[in-house]
Amino acid sequence: MTTRREFIRNSAVLVGAAAIGKRTLLAWPGRAAAKSKVVSVAAGDMIVEAKYNPEAVGRAFEAGLKELTGEKKAAGAWSSLFSPNDVVGIKINCIGAPKVSTSLESVRAVIAGLKSAGVAENNMIIWDRSDRELARTGLTINKGTEGVRVKGASTKSEAILPWVEGYDKGAYISLEAGTLKRFKELVKRNFTENASYREIFNSVTWLWTLIQQGNADAQKYSQDIRRLYTDYNDREGIKRIADEVAGRFDDVVIEDEEKSFFSEIITREITKLVNIAVLKHNEDSGVTWATKNIALGMTTNKVRFHIDFCARAISEILSHPSLKDKMVLHIGEAAKISTVSVAGARLAYDNRIFFSRDPVAMDRIGLDILEAKRAEQGLESIRKEAGHVAACARRGVGTDELSRIDLREIKA
């Protein structure tokens, strides 16, 4: 029996642990802190003729969900995470379709799992940034009141505008990077003389915003800015533009330029989120998997995030109250991996799908896999660019410490 003194002592331990910081995991005295579980399920027939095999995916989901939750049956595993009252967002990744994107086989497996937990079809929303991107995967757009809903966050391009329809003006992160206000401060320091391409390009993303908004004086730079978005070697080209626009737009005010708003699907429609991410390289974040698939898929005004390889933005987005408690299940496809930044241009094959409730832990494992696959292809390390993984851990989104990750590798 617990004595009054023991109860007071143990309560003090819990309160003290909570006060230390978000990364501290509560534990009773003498008991080790819980580890973040990441389940890897391998199947020799996962990829057949460069496509996911539905039968193997089904086996992987059943084995993976049972191992992750500790339930004996697949239906029980899904029911332990979702209830019939939930509205579930299924965030997929369409970039690179049809060569490499979230597989329809995984999407169907999630739908079947949610049905087994009693979630109604119309309370499921498969989504990504736009209807056009979703259609490229083979999905049919459905915004009706029957069947699984399939829709983009907006019909408007959101990457360089502070707000477009479909995004919630009450939920956002605020960063001065890439704003006209910040650019004016940098000009006073003559930063373009020694700044890198990345630093200069992202300092003038406000110019791209003005172009999109129809500012007449900004239009002359439209073609150059679009070209320089992918021409990473032309430092002199972007430096010339930065020098030219210095002082030219001092009387311009861009409303909400420092803000990146969140999709209303996240903030207003769903109660829980399933994240089906594809393991990929990206020069703007090193690794793209669980955390980036959500963060950059749900926000506006995000080209500017890349100045620090997305480290600050991704960690702030995933630790925001409107999202953090809704992330329930992360599914990582790693059987078909994009090893270079142009999605699908170069692939590596594996035979695994991953399952976790901790997106940071999954990304930490994925980073090692991507590094190994790139090394096999003679490509350089991208670990230093993947700082968003550690940044998310520091914000309490999850753990990136291998000693605190319980990696369970099973076969199906």
Q: Each residue of 71-83: pLDDT tens digit?
A: 999 999 999 999 9
Kindly state the average pLDDT of the residues 342-351.
Answer: 92
The highest-level CATH class for domain 36-168+262-411 is alpha beta
Beta strands in 228-307 (DSSP E): 259-263, 272-282, 286-288
Torsion 129-133-135-137 (CA) sign: negative
* pLDDT on residue 1: 39
The 10s digit of each residue's pLDDT in 189-203 is 999 999 988 899 999
* pLDDT on residue 27: 37
* pLDDT on residue 22: 36
Band (34; pLDDT cuts 50, 70, 90): confident
Kindly state the average pLDDT of the residues 286-308.
Answer: 97
* pLDDT on residue 33: 64
Average pLDDT over all residues of the chain: 92
> CB–CB of 256/163 below 8 Å?
yes
Is residue 391's pLDDT more than 60? Answer: yes
Kindly state the average pLDDT of the residues 244-273.
Answer: 97
Is residue 378's pLDDT more than 70? Answer: yes
Band (233; pLDDT cuts 50, 70, 90): confident
> Where does CATH 3.40.50 sit in the chain?
36-168+262-411
* pLDDT on residue 46: 98
* pLDDT on residue 5: 36
Kindly report the CA angle at 259 between 244 and 273, in degrees rounded to 5? 135
Burial of 213 (0-12, 13-18, 19+ CB in 10 A): middle
pTM: 0.90
Kindly state the average pLDDT of the residues 281-307.
Answer: 96
* pLDDT on residue 3: 38
Kindly state the average pLDDT of the residues 312-334.
Answer: 96
Q: Which residue has the tokens 């590798």?
A: 409
- Residue of 21 and 231 predicted with greater confidence: 231
* pLDDT on residue 266: 98
Is residue 398's pLDDT more than 90? Answer: yes
* From 111-125, 219-233, 370-384, the region with the lowest mean pLDDT: 219-233
H or E segment and range at residue 112: helix 104-116
Is residue 409's pLDDT more than 50? Answer: yes
DSSP 342: S
Band (286; pLDDT cuts 50, 70, 90): very high
Kindly state the average pLDDT of the residues 154-162.
Answer: 96
Is residue 135's pLDDT more than 80? Answer: yes
Is residue 42's pLDDT more than 90? Answer: yes
